[in-house]
Amino acid sequence: MPVDLTNYEFNLIVPKSVIEEKYPGGWKACLEYHDPWIGGSVSCDDGLLQIGADTKPDIERARSWFVAIGFDEFTRPKNSPVYEWTDLCVIGPEDRDSIDDLKWCIPCMWLRVDDGVAQLANKYWDWSNTRKRVGLTD
């Protein structure tokens, strides 16, 4: 089941596989910490954690917190002129309908966004190298 991006102006998205690897205590600890907000500003599916916020400062606090505990924001793939979101990404209100029309300043290759919902891109495409880079495959 995809995560809904329409309830908040800004959304921080983190793949479960990256949380398992980098969050102290893994997925279970992350869900326990965020439990008071699940069903409100926090939701998840079988592959993604979503944190919603109505203001840029609020989403920036969430993003900064994940970066402070060791999550990487951006990478520049070899032979690529652009950076990509790596362990997490932030979706603003202009990006909710589709990221395919290049509205993003920074692309997120592991995420698929359609009609206000987000899912892991590997549910649609077999991007082996991208999935390995963010830990979605062995």
Residue 61 has pLDDT above 90, yes or no: yes
pLDDT tier, 37 (very low <50, low <70, confident <90, very high otherwise) = very high
* String of DSSP letters for 31-91: HHHHGGGBTTTEEE-SSEEEEEESSHHHHHHHHHHHHHTT---EE--TT-SS-EE-S-EEE
Name which of 17-31, 66-80, 88-102 the model is least confident about: 88-102
**pTM value?**
0.79
The 10s digit of each residue's pLDDT in 76-115 is 888 877 788 899 998 887 655 444 433 446 778 888 888 8
Name the more confident of 24 and 94: 24
The pLDDT value given to residue 93: 72
Q: Could you say which DSSP state residue 98 is in?
A: B
What lies within 8 Å, CB to CB, of 78 at 6+ separation is none
pLDDT, the chain, mean: 80
| Burial classification of residue 40, based on how many CB atoms lie within 10 Å of its CB (0-12 exposed, 13-18 middle, 19 or more buried) | exposed
Check residue 135 and give its pLDDT: 42
Q: What are phi and psi of 61, to 5 degrees?
A: -60, -45
Instruction: Check: CB of residue 88 under 8 Å from CB of residue 76.
Output: no
Measured between alpha carbons, how far is 70 from 93 in angstroms, rounded to an integer?
26
41 compared with 136, residue with greater pLDDT = 41
Residue 137 scores a pLDDT above 70: no
